[in-house]
Structure 1
Amino acid sequence: MAEYRIDDLARVSGTTVRNIRVYQDRGLLPPPIRRGRTAIYTDAHLSRLRLVTNMLGRGYAFAQIAEMLAAWESGRSLADVLGLEEAMGVPWSSELPVPITVRELRRMFGTQLTPGNTRKALQLGLLRRQGAGLVVPSPQLLEAGYELVRLGVPLDEVIDLAGVLQQEVDHVAALMISLVRRYVLDPKGDDWLPRGDEVGHYADVLRRLPTVVISAVTAAVARSTERVIPDMVGDRLEALLRSGGQTSD
C-alpha cells in the first residue's frame, strides 16, 4: 500500500493541499495516520479524494457528498470500507505527474510553444496548473509528443492529436469497463451495494481490472501499428513506382 505526504497526495490526485484540508475539515476525507508530527495518507485516502473531486465536478454539494458517504459506510466495518477504497485507489498507471517549468517546455518545443498552444494543452489536461507552477500528468505522453515534433509534426497538430487520442481511448476503455460493470459489479442493479462479506471479491475485481484494460488496449494498439505503418510505407513505395522513381527536390 502506497503512502503519501500531503504534498505528494495533492500532486498524485491533481488537486491542491488547500483542497485536501478543506475536505478533511468538512468530514469528506478521513484524517491521516499520524507518525509523530508527520501526517501519512494511503491509497484509501487517494481513492476517497478522487471520489470527492469527481462528485464535486458532477455538481454535488459538500453536504450531499457527506450524506452519500455516510450511507455507504453505514453497516460496514472500517476494514470493509478501507479494503474497497484502497482497491479503487490503486493507480491505473505507474506514471506519476512531474513538475515542469515554462523554460523546460521552451527548451523542448522552441518557438512553437505559443500562448495558444499552452492554453490548449491546459484545456486538454496535457498540462495542469499546480500552485504557481505546471505539472505534466503523463511524462510518457509528453515524450511522445516531443518525438513527433522532432520528426517535423507541428506542435499544434500534436496537441490536437492528443485530444482525439484521449477521446478514442476513453471510448474503448469505457466499452470494456461497461461489460465488467454490467456482469460483475452491477448484476443486481445500479442501486445495489456489496455487503460486508462481498467487499473482498469486488475489491479484487477492481485491483485486477486496470491490468486487464491496459493490456487489451496496449495489445490492440500494437496490432494496429503493425498494420498501419506497413500500409503507409507501401503507399509511398507505390506512388514512387508510379512516378518512375522520380522525386521532387
Structure 2
Amino acid sequence: MVRDWVQEEPVTMTTAELVELFGPAATAEDTRRAARLGYVSIDGDLVTHRNRRLLEATLALVRQGVPLAEILDAADLLQAQAAALADRFVGLFRRHVIGPEGLERLSASQLDHIAGAAADLRPVAGEVVAAEFARAMALRMEAEVAELLGRER
C-alpha cells in the first residue's frame, strides 16, 4: 500500500553546473530554500534534485522570467495543498475501504483486496488532481485573457 506512489528520477550536478543552469536568476538562499522544501539535497559540491520533471518545469518558468523565489513560494503552497488533499484521499480510503477494524484483524484475502484497491487508487488519484487542476487553469486563464482584452479596448 505504501510503495510506488512516487516515481522520481533524481538529477545530480555540481554547484557550478547548477549556477550555470539557472544563471543569475538563482541565489544561494534559493538553493537553501529548495533544500528545506525537499527538492534538493546538498552534499559538499554536489546538488541532487529529487525529480527531473520538476527541475525541468522550474527551469522553463525561470527561462520565461519568473523569479525562482516566487516559484519556491508556489511550491511551498503546492506542497501544503497536496498534503491536505492526500490527507483527504487517505481518510476516505481508510473509512470506506479499510473500515473501522483497521488492518490487524483482517484476513489475508481482505488484505489482498485492500492492497489491490490502493494500487488502483494510485493512477486514479493522480488523474483526478491533474484533471481538476487543468480545469481550474483553463477557467483562470480564460478570465485573465478576458480581463486583459477588456483593458486594451
TM-score by length of 2: 0.88
The separation in 1 between residues aligned to 2:103 and 2:112, in whole angstroms, is: 19
**CA RMSD of superposed structures (Å):** 2.0
SS in 1 for 2:42: strand
The separation in 2 between residues aligned to 1:117 and 1:110, in whole angstroms, is: 12
Higher relative contact order (CA 8 A, sep 6+): 2
Aligned residues: 153
Q: 2:40 aligns to what? A: 127
Q: For structure 2, list consecutive stretches of 5 or more residues without a partner in the other structure.
A: none
4+ residue stretches of structure 1 with deviation over 6 A? none
The separation in 1 between residues aligned to 2:80 and 2:2, in whole angstroms, is: 22
TM-score by length of 1: 0.56
Q: 2:18 aligns to what? A: 105
**Structure 1, residues 42-77: CA drift from partner, whole Å, max 9, x if none?**
xxxxxxxxxxxxxxxxxxxxxxxxxxxxxxxxxxxx
Cα drift, residue 193 of structure 1: 4.5
1:137 aligns with 2:137: no
* Structure 1 residues 129 and 206: alpha-carbon distance in aligned structure 2, compared to 1, 3 A threshold: farther
The 8 Å contact of residues 103 and 111 in structure 2, kept in 1 or not, is answered as no
| Structure having the higher Rg | 1
The separation in 1 between residues aligned to 2:111 and 2:121, in whole angstroms, is: 15
The separation in 2 between residues aligned to 1:232 and 1:158, in whole angstroms, is: 20
Cα drift, residue 189 of structure 1: 3.9
Q: 2:111 aligns to what? A: 199
The separation in 2 between residues aligned to 1:170 and 1:104, in whole angstroms, is: 32
Amino acid at match of 1:194: L
Q: For structure 1, list consecutive stretches of 5 or more residues without a partner in the other structure.
A: 1-86, 242-249
Q: Percent identity?
A: 31
Counterparts of 1:1-249 in structure 2 under 5 Å? Answer: 87-89=1-3, 91-129=4-42, 133-185=46-98, 187-190=99-102, 192-241=104-153
* Structure 1 residues 100 and 181: alpha-carbon distance in aligned structure 2, compared to 1, 3 A threshold: farther
